[in-house]
Structure 1
Amino acid sequence: MIDFELEQMIENPEWCLVLNHYSQQQLQTKKQDPEFDGWIIRQNEVEGVALEHLPRIHGKLIAFDLLKFQISSRDSGVFYKVTRAGQKMLPKLQKMLQQQSASEQSESEYSYSKSA
């Protein structure tokens, strides 16, 4: 994993939401069906992500080798799967985003206390 990819993911939280969404879908489906191969039908709605951003986000995640796709058939559409690199990146991303959020929260609390 290249630092650039990690930086881009942190700077674009919607990308993290989409990658995490596919990862969670894979985990849930695998629990229900042990024979599940990991391919998830294209998600057209992801909480916290604008619908018009999804095509671009899918493309970026594929370009960074965090998500791969396959076209099953004309009728069933496109399927996606989180790559090994994507699975490895998710815990790091979540940790870094939590730290960033905590840092921003403490900064806002500090500036609020200074203005009071």
Structure 2
Amino acid sequence: MIDLELEQMMENPEWCLVLNHYSQLQRQAKEQNPEFDGWIGRQNKVEGVVLERLPRIHGKLIAFDLLKFQLSGRDSGVYYQVTRLGEKMLPRLEKLITSASNPESPDSDLTYAKSA
């Protein structure tokens, strides 16, 4: 994992919300249908994220290879899938965010992320 990606995610908590949202949707769909291919239709509402920022956030997550997309056709629209890098980053982000909110934690400094 590149430090820049992790730092950008920490500086932009809305990105984390969007990435986590897609990841949860993928897991839920896979639990309901083991044949699920992993593609989720574009989400136009994510709790905690301003609607106007979603297109830019989608673009940033794609640029950092945390989210990938496919065009399904004129009527179907765009579908997204969390990449392997995105899935690997989510648990680390949750740990760092939790640590940052608890200043007494030994991992509360971002230097932990850079040294790992």
TM-score range, shorter chain: 0.7 to 0.9
Counterpart of 1:61 in structure 2 is 61
Q: CA deviation at 1:11?
A: 0.6
SS at match of 1:85: helix
Q: Does 1:9 align with 2:9?
A: yes
SS at match of 1:48: coil
Counterpart of 2:90 in structure 1 is 90
More helix by share: 1
SS at match of 2:80: strand
Q: TM-score, normalised by structure 1?
A: 0.88
Q: Which letter does structure 2 place at the counterpart of 1:75?
A: D
The gaps in structure 1 that reach 5 residues or longer are 105-116
Q: Does 1:44 align with 2:51?
A: no
SS at match of 1:73: coil
How far apart are the structure 2 equivalents of 1:10 and 1:100?
10
Counterpart of 1:81 in structure 2 is 81
Identity %: 75
Q: TM-score, normalised by structure 2?
A: 0.88
Counterpart of 1:29 in structure 2 is 29
List, as ranges, runs of 4+ consecutive aligned residues in structure 1 with deviation greater than 3 Å. none
Q: Which letter does structure 1 place at the counterpart of 2:82?
A: V
Q: How many residues align?
A: 104
RMSD of aligned Cα (Å): 1.0
How far apart are the structure 2 equivalents of 1:53 and 1:60?
11
How far apart are the structure 1 equivalents of 2:101 and 2:49?
18
